[in-house]
Structure 1
Amino acid sequence: MKYATLYKDTLLHDIIPFWETYSLDRKNGGYYTCLDTSGTIYDTDKFIWLQGRQAWTFSMLYNKVEQNEKWLDISKNGIDFLRKYGMNENGDFYFSVTNDGKPLVNAYNIFSDCFAAMAFSQYAIASGDVEVKALAKKVYTNILKRIDNPKGRFEKNMDTRPLIGFSLPMILSNLVLELENVLDPQEVEKTIDYSVNQVMNVFLDTETGLIFEHVLPNGEHHDSFNGRLLNPGHGIEAMWFMIDIGVRRKDQDLINKATETILHILKFSWDEKYGGIYYFMDSKGYPPQQLEWDQKLWWVHLETLVALSKSYQYTQNSAILKWYTKVHDYAWNHFSDPENGEWFGYLNRRGEVLLNLKGGKWKGCFHVPRAMYQCWKAFENIESNNNFK
Structure 2
Amino acid sequence: MTLPATPVPDFTDPGVLRAHIADTMAFYRPRALDPDGGFFHYFRDDGTVYDRSHRHLVSSTRFVYDFAMAAAEFADTPHADGDRAAALHGLRFLGEAHRDPASGGYAWTLRDGVPEDRTHHSYGLAFVLLAQASARKAGLDTVAGMDETWDLLERHAWDPTHGLYRDEADAHWRYAPYRGQNANMHLCEALIAAHEAGGDDRYLARALTLADHMTRRQAALSGGLVWEHWHADWSVDWDYHRDDPRHLFRPWGFQPGHQVEWAKLLLSLRAHLGAGAPDWLLPTARHLYDAALAHGWDDAHGGIVYGFAPDALRDASPAPGAPPPDLASAPMFWCDDDKYFWVQAEAIAAAWRLFDATGEARYRDDYLRLWDYAWRHFVDHAHGAWYRILDRHNRKVDDLKSPAGKTDYHTMGACHDVLAVMRGTHATRLAR
**TM-score normalised per structure 1:** 0.85
Instruction: Report deviation, 1:308.
Output: 0.6
The worse-fitting range, judged by mean Cα deviation, of 368-377 and 66-75 is 368-377
Give distance in 2, aligned partners of 1:86 and 1:107. 11
Match of 2:96 in 1: 84
Instruction: Report deviation, 1:226.
Output: 6.0
Which of residues 152, 157, 162 is equivalent to 2:169? 152
Which of residues 55, 72, 75 is equivalent to 2:64? 55
Task: Report the secondary structure of 2:82's partner residue.
Answer: helix
Does structure 1 residue 95 correspond to structure 2 residue 108?
yes
Match of 1:293 in 2: 336
Task: Report the secondary structure of 1:179's partner residue.
Answer: helix
- CA deviations 1:122-173 (Å, max 9, x no partner) are 32443443xx3212211122123213432113999986xxx74212331222
Instruction: Report deviation, 1:233.
Output: 0.7
List gaps (5 residues or longer) in structure 1: 382-389
Match of 2:378 in 1: 335
Task: Report the secondary structure of 1:52's partner residue.
Answer: helix
Instruction: Report deviation, 1:25.
Output: 0.7
Task: Report the secondary structure of 2:383's partner residue.
Answer: coil
Q: Percent identity?
A: 19
Instruction: Report deviation, 1:225.
Output: 4.8
Instruction: Report deviation, 1:11.
Output: 0.9
Question: Number of matched residues?
Answer: 372
Q: 1:317 to 1:208 in 2, by over 3 A?
A: farther
Give distance in 2, aligned partners of 1:281 and 1:54. 30
CA contact (8 A) 1:208 1:264 kept: no
Q: 1:186 to 1:306 in 2, by over 3 A?
A: closer
Task: Report the secondary structure of 1:104's partner residue.
Answer: strand
Q: 1:7 to 1:292 in 2, by over 3 A?
A: farther
Q: 1:134 to 1:157 in 2, by over 3 A?
A: closer
CA contact (8 A) 1:59 1:72 kept: yes
In the TM superposition, 1:213-252 aligns within 5 A as 213-215=228-230, 221=236, 223-225=238-240, 229-250=253-274, 251=277
Task: Report the secondary structure of 1:78's partner residue.
Answer: helix
Instruction: Report deviation, 1:377.
Output: 4.1
Match of 1:386 in 2: none
Q: 1:193 to 1:355 in 2, by over 3 A?
A: same
CA contact (8 A) 1:308 1:324 kept: yes
Give distance in 1, aligned partners of 2:237 and 2:193. 33
Which of residues 85, 101, 115 is equivalent to 1:73? 85
CA contact (8 A) 1:295 1:346 kept: yes
What is the root-mean-square deviation of aligned Cα atoms in Å?
Answer: 3.1
Which of residues 278, 295, 301 is equivalent to 1:274? 301
Instruction: Report deviation, 1:106.
Output: 2.0
Give distance in 1, aligned partners of 2:382 and 2:198. 43
The residue type paired with residue 28 of structure 2 is W
Which of residues 210, 232, 250 is equivalent to 1:195? 210
CA contact (8 A) 1:169 1:198 kept: no
List gaps (5 residues or longer) in structure 2: 1-8, 160-165, 243-251, 317-333, 425-432
Which of residues 414, 419, 422 is equivalent to 1:371? 414
CA contact (8 A) 1:296 1:348 kept: yes
Q: 1:376 to 1:128 in 2, by over 3 A?
A: closer
The residue type paired with residue 81 of structure 1 is F
The residue type paired with residue 188 of structure 1 is Y
The residue type paired with residue 91 of structure 1 is G
Task: Report the secondary structure of 1:169's partner residue.
Answer: helix
Give distance in 1, aligned partners of 2:151 and 2:17. 35
Match of 1:170 in 2: 185
Does structure 1 residue 118 correspond to structure 2 residue 130?
yes
The residue type paired with residue 194 of structure 1 is T
Q: 1:108 to 1:248 in 2, by over 3 A?
A: same
Match of 1:349 in 2: 392
Give distance in 2, aligned partners of 1:283 and 1:216. 20
CA contact (8 A) 2:57 2:124 kept: yes
Instruction: Report deviation, 1:121.
Output: 2.7
Give distance in 2, aligned partners of 1:81 and 1:217. 33
Give distance in 2, aligned partners of 1:375 and 1:246. 15
Does structure 1 residue 15 correspond to structure 2 residue 27?
no
CA contact (8 A) 1:309 1:379 kept: no
